[in-house]
A = this chain, B = another copy of it.
Amino acid sequence: MEAKRTIFFVSESTTIAAETLGHSLLVHFEHIKFDPVTVPFVDTVEKANETAAQINADARDKEFPPIIFSTLLEKEVRTVIMKSEGIVFDIYDAFMDRIEDALHMRSTSGISRAHGLLDDSMYNIRIDAVNYALRNDDGISTKDYDKADVILIGVSRTGKTPTCLYLGLQFGIYAANYPLTEEDLYIEYKKVPGVLQPYRDKLFGLTINPERLQKIRSERMPDSRYSSFVQCQRELAMAEYLFVSKNIPFLNITSMSVEEIAATIMHKSRLPRRAL
């Protein structure tokens, strides 16, 4: 059996940026198996030495040296990792000099901001936006739609809830969602549901392929009318007809990740990023 290649994600703060970098590269090497190790909060030379020892031990044990993705701003700390026996890809090492040149400025010394001393308002807006998404999930309340940046609509199990939460957590966007029920779709045939009428400009539709919807619904309620293919197909057709005929922007999410759905909605609806 082929040995897995060890991948270290190292940072003085969280390893999220290092992981994002690593994954955007490694995803293009489908045939290699990786063994990921995350080492956050490496913010002293001492901790860097410990991490380098761990890297070197891996390099000695395996046929190929480990690969390191890192975001280490402090040069002393970074140097320890760069001198290890791993193959190091560091964002600051690769880009910091060039960006200082481009900006005609040295970076602010210290790593305080990378350590998360966010300003209160940015933190608050994300938490507030998540709480908004929770209060306005699945049509449970429609009275705060005035405050919504966007209102996602779609039949049951088209990814509305996770997308709203992600929009709140990642971008500080106030996203409500409203499920299109059979009543909305059949009885009020071809009409935008009354409660949504005043917010036509905020609506964004989500749809999915019927095969996929059937699979998702079957996990929740197997062998039910709700999860039958015919039912899924009918609801989706009615919902899509509504989107098209009422000129509501919409998206088929069948093979999209939550990030991609959220980014696409941001783009198509020209929503402002309130936080990142």
A residues near B (Cβ < 8 Å) are 5, 13-17, 19-21, 23-32, 36, 38, 40-41, 64, 67, 71, 73, 87, 89, 91-92, 94-96, 98-99, 102-105, 107-108, 113-114, 116-118, 123, 126-127, 130-131, 134, 159, 161-162, 165-166, 169, 255-260, 262-264, 266-267, 273, 276
**How far, in whole Å, are A237 and B107 apart by their CA atoms in the complex?**
39
Within the complex, the shortest CB–CB distance from A221 to chain B, in Å, comes to: 14
The answer on a CB contact under 8 Å between B24 and A71 is yes
Find the B residue at minimum CB distance from A219: B124
Within the complex, the shortest CB–CB distance from A156 to chain B, in Å, comes to: 13
The answer on a CB contact under 8 Å between B159 and A21 is no
Within the complex, the shortest CB–CB distance from A96 to chain B, in Å, comes to: 7
Can you list 17 contacts pairing A with B, beta carbon distance less than 8 Å?
A5-B103, A13-B260, A14-B262, A16-B20, A20-B20, A25-B92, A25-B96, A29-B99, A29-B105, A29-B107, A31-B108, A40-B263, A67-B103, A116-B260, A126-B162, A130-B165, A169-B258
List the B side residues contacting A13 at CB < 8 Å. 260
Given contacts A73-B28, A95-B94, A259-B16, contact A276 B23 (CB under 8 A): yes
The answer on a CB contact under 8 Å between A113 and B30 is yes
The answer on a CB contact under 8 Å between A113 and B267 is no
Find the B residue at minimum CB distance from A66: B102
Given contacts A26-B99, A30-B108, A134-B161, 4 further A-B contacts (CB under 8 A): A17-B20, A21-B21, A23-B276, A169-B169
Within the complex, the shortest CB–CB distance from A264 to chain B, in Å, comes to: 7
The answer on a CB contact under 8 Å between B95 and A255 is no
Within the complex, the shortest CB–CB distance from A44 to chain B, in Å, comes to: 16
The answer on a CB contact under 8 Å between A105 and B31 is yes
Within the complex, the shortest CB–CB distance from A45 to chain B, in Å, comes to: 20
Given contacts A105-B31, A113-B28, A255-B117, contact A130 B40 (CB under 8 A): no
The answer on a CB contact under 8 Å between B159 and A169 is no
Find the B residue at minimum CB distance from A266: B38
**How far, in whole Å, are A259 and B19 apart by their CA atoms in the complex?**
13
Find the B residue at minimum CB distance from A111: B28
List the B side residues contacting A256 at CB < 8 Å. 116
The answer on a CB contact under 8 Å between B24 and A114 is yes
Within the complex, the shortest CB–CB distance from A186 to chain B, in Å, comes to: 27
Cross-chain contact of A24 among B17, B25, B102, B262 (Cβ < 8 A):
B17
Cross-chain contact of A95 among B19, B23, B25, B258 (Cβ < 8 A):
B25
